[in-house]
C-alpha cells in the first residue's frame, strides 16, 4: 500500500510531526502517522484487546457482564461502558483515528454503519474452537465465538457488502488478524496448572494456535484482503493476573528486572517466534499481498521505562497487585483508581486507554515502514 500522490518530503514531514508532537492527553486522538497509508476501511478479528461491543451483544446476559457497566468506559468521551475491556479506547480505536476513519462498530450492532469497516473481535475468544480446546482439557468459559466463527461472520458480511466485487472494494482495506491466541494459553494456564513453570502441556497448543491464525490469514486473502497485520502476544508475565497467581510462590530469580515472570514472557516469545515464521511463509506464498507482523510485545516493553505503575491494576481490590479474581473490576464495591493514565493495567488483565494509546503510537512508526506507506 503506497502513498498516492505524496512526495518524499511530505512523507517525512508527517513522520517528523508525529514523532515531535507532545504527548496528548488520555482522551486525545492518536498521532496521524498512518494516515499516509490511505486505507479506507479496517476489519478486525480478535479477542478482548479489540472487542468494541460484540460480546455484550451476542450473549443473552451481555448487559450483566462487568464491562457492560461503569467503571469500564469511564475515560471514554461518552463516559459510559461500550463493551470495551478498558477505561476508554482500545488500540483498534486509535488505529482508526490515526487512519482518519470512524471508530469501528461491532458487527453484532445490527443498526451500525459499516461503510469504513467492521469489528468481529469478541472478548474471551480463542483461536482454537471450544471442541479442540476441550480435547486438550481446556475450557472456554466465556464464548464459543472462536476465530472460525468470526471468519464466518466476515464471510457473511462481505457477501452482502461486496456483491461479488470484493477484490476491488477491499483493495485499500487494512485487515487486523488478531491479536488472537492469547486466551487459548490464558485459559490453559489459569485452569489446570498450579505452577507457571509447568508449561509442557501448553507448549503443545502453540503450533495448533499458530496454524489456525495462518489459516485465518489465508481466508481473509480469499475474501479479497491485500494488506494484513498479524499481531503477536503481549509479555503475559507482566500482567497482574499472572503475577498474583504465580508470583507469590515464585523465587526471586523467576522475575526479570521489571518484576515480570520471565518464564511466562519466554512462552509469549516462543509463540511470537512461531507466528513470525508462519507470516514469512505466507508472504512467500502470496507475494501480491502485504502481510506484516504487529510487534505488540516490543510495543508493550517500551511502556516499562516511562514511569507508569507497572504491577498494580487501576481497577481492582486486594493483595499486592490490586487484583483478586473473586472481586474483579466491575463487581459490586470494586472501585477504580482516580488516575488511570498513570497505570499500564486497567483491571489486571487488560490495559488502560493511555497504555493502549502509547502502544499504538509506537506501532505506527513500526508499521509505517513495514506496510510500505512511504512508497
Q: Which residues are catalytic?
A: 48, 347, 350
Contact 62, 112 (CB under 8 A): no
- Cβ density class 200-222: b for 16+ within 10 Å, e for less: eebeebbebbbebbbebbebbbe
Residues 6+ apart with CB under 8 A from 279: 217, 230, 291, 292, 293
Rounded to whole angstroms, the Cα distance separating 199 from 211 reads 19
Query: What's the length of the chain?
Result: 375
Contact 18, 373 (CB under 8 A): no
Kindly state the cell numbers that stand for 152.
464466518
Contact 60, 97 (CB under 8 A): no
Count Cβ atoms within 10 A of the Cβ of residue 174 and give its class: 0-12 exposed, 13-18 middle, 19 or more buried.
buried
Amino acid at each position: 500500500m503506497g502513498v498516492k500522490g505524496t512526495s518524499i518530503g511530505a512523507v517525512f514531514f508527517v513522520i517528523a510531526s508525529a514523532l515531535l508532537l507532545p504527548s496528548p492527553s488520555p482522551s486525545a486522538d492518536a498521532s496521524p502517522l498512518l494516515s499516509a497509508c490511505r486505507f479506507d476501511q479496517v476489519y478486525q478479528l480478535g479477542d478482548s484487546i479489540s472487542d468494541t461491543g460484540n460480546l455484550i451483544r451476542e450473549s443473552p446476559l451481555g448487559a450483566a457482564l462487568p464491562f457492560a457497566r461503569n467503571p469500564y468506559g469511564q475515560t471514554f468521551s461518552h463516559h459510559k461502558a461500550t463493551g470495551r475491556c478498558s477505561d476508554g479506547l482500545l488500540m483498534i480505536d486509535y488505529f482508526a483515528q490515526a487512519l482518519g476513519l470512524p471508530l469501528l462498530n461491532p458487527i453484532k450492532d445490527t443498526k451500525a454503519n459499516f461503510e469504513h469497516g467492521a469489528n468481529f473481535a469478541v472478548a474471551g475468544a480463542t483461536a482454537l474452537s471450544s471442541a479442540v480446546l476441550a480435547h486438550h482439557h481446556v475450557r472456554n468459559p466465556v464464548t464459543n465465538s472462536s476465530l472460525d466463527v468470526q471468519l464466518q461472520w466476515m464471510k457473511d458480511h462481505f457477501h452482502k457488502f461486496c456483491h461479488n466485487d470484493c477484490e476491488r472494494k477491499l483493495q485499500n482495506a487494512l485487515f487486523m488478524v488478531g491479536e488472537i491466541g492469547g486466551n487459548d494459553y490464558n485459559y490453559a494456564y489459569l485452569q489446570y496448572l498450579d505452577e507457571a513453570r509447568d508449561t509442557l502441556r501448553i507448549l503443545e497448543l502453540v503450533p495448533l494456535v499458530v496454524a489456525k491464525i495462518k489459516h485465518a490469514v489465508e481466508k481473509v486473502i480469499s475474501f479479497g484482503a491485500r494488506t494484513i497485520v498479524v499481531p503477536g502476544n503481549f509479555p503475559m508475565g507482566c500482567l497482574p493476573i499472572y503475577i498474583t497467581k504465580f508470583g507469590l510462590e515464585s523465587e526471586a530469580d523467576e522475575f526479570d528486572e521489571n518484576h515480570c515472570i520471565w518464564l511466562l514472557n519466554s512462552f509469549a516469545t516462543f509463540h511470537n517466534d512461531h507466528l513470525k515464521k508462519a507470516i514469512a511463509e505466507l508472504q512467500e506464498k502470496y507475494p501480491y499481498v502485504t502481510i506484516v507482523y504487529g510487534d505488540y510485545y516490543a510495543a508493550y516493553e517500551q511502556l516499562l521505562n516511562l514511569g507508569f505503575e507497572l504491577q498494580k491494576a487501576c481497577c481492582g481490590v486486594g493483595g499486592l497487585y490490586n487484583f483478586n479474581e473473586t472481586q474483579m473490576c466491575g463487581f459490586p464495591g470494586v472501585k477504580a483508581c482516580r488516575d488511570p493514565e498513570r497505570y499500564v493495567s486497567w483491571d489486571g488483565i487488560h490495559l488502560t486507554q493511555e497504555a493502549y494509546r502509547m502502544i499504538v503510537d509506537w506501532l505506527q512508526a513500526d508499521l509505517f515502514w513495514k506496510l510500505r506507506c512511504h512508497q
